[in-house]
Each structure stands twice: as structure tokens, then as C-alpha cells.
Structure 1
């Protein structure tokens, strides 16, 4: 499982200019089962996405395709972790400890 932290590198008006394309990109990845949760940070200086994929390389490839990245308005910090405890709704993503 991965935590993707987005940090805006441009003013909000530049971010908002690409927002519709970013939301369409999010919708596609939700439909494919890659993204589990996402939202804006407060204060609004970026966002957070919880994702699943077969590898870090795949997540890096996905992040590189974000319209925010291709437009140069954000950077990603990606953290991989083992979800050894989950809410019942996320049980299928739980990994054994160790």
C-alpha cells in the first residue's frame, strides 16, 4: 500500500487550471481499483492519496502521469507501507506482519 503526498509547486490559480484533468485522472484510477481514498490537505497546499499497486515502480509511473505533474504544478512524495491492520472494508489489502 502507498501514501502519495502531493505538494503544490505553483500558485493555486495554476493548480485550478488543471483541476478538471486531475479529477478525471483520479476517477480513472478509482475505477481501476488503484486509488482507495484521496483529498486535499488543509491548508490547501497539496493533497493525499491512498493507493495499491503491484510495485513502487508502478506507483511512480502512475504519479508521473498525473496532469498536475505534467503541468508542473505539483510534486509527489511516495511512502510505501505494509497495512498489517485495516478497517474491515480494507481487509483484502491487509498484509501479514513481519
Structure 2
């Protein structure tokens, strides 16, 4: 499993202009079974994506399709981890 931390490198005006296309990108990756959760950081300096179902290089290829990446509006930090404990109801996240 991966946690992807996005950090905006562009003004929020540019982010907002790309947001609809970014949401379409997210929907496609959810449908493909790659992304399992995502959302904005608070304060709004970027976002977080939880991903699974692929190797690191494949994940990087998926992220390269993000309009935020294409327009150099965000940077991406990827952390891989193996969940071994979860709260009740989240057992499906375990490796």
C-alpha cells in the first residue's frame, strides 16, 4: 500500500482551474482499483491519496497522468507501507 502526499507548487487559482480534470483522473483510478482514499490537506496545501494494487513504478506511471503533474502544479512524495493492524471495519486494508 502507498500513501501519496501531494504538495501544491502553483497558486490555488491554477489548482482550481485544473481541479475538474484532476477529479476525473481520480475517478478513473478508483474505477481501476488503484486508489482507495483521497482528500485535501488542511490547510489546503495539497492532498493525500492512498493507493494499492500495483507496484511502485506502475503507481508512478499512474500519477504522471494527473493534470497536477502534467502542469507542474504539485510534487508527489510516495511512502510505501504494509498495514499489519487496523481498527474494526478496516481489516481489508491489511496485507
- Secondary structure, aligned partner of 2:83: coil
Contact 2:68 2:74 in 1 (8 A): yes
Once residues 93 and 16 of structure 1 are traced to their aligned partners in structure 2, the CA distance between those partners, rounded to angstroms, is 31
Residues 27-36 or 8-17, more deviating:
27-36
TM (norm. structure 1) is 0.89
TM (norm. structure 2) is 0.92
Contact 2:69 2:75 in 1 (8 A): yes
Residues 59-68 or 79-88, more deviating:
79-88
Which segments of structure 1 move beyond 6 Å, counting only runs of 4 or more? Answer: none
Gaps of 5+ in 2: none
Alignment of 1:18-37 (within 5 A): 18-37=18-37
Number of aligned residues: 95
Gaps of 5+ in 1: none
- Deviation for aligned residue 1:89: 4.5
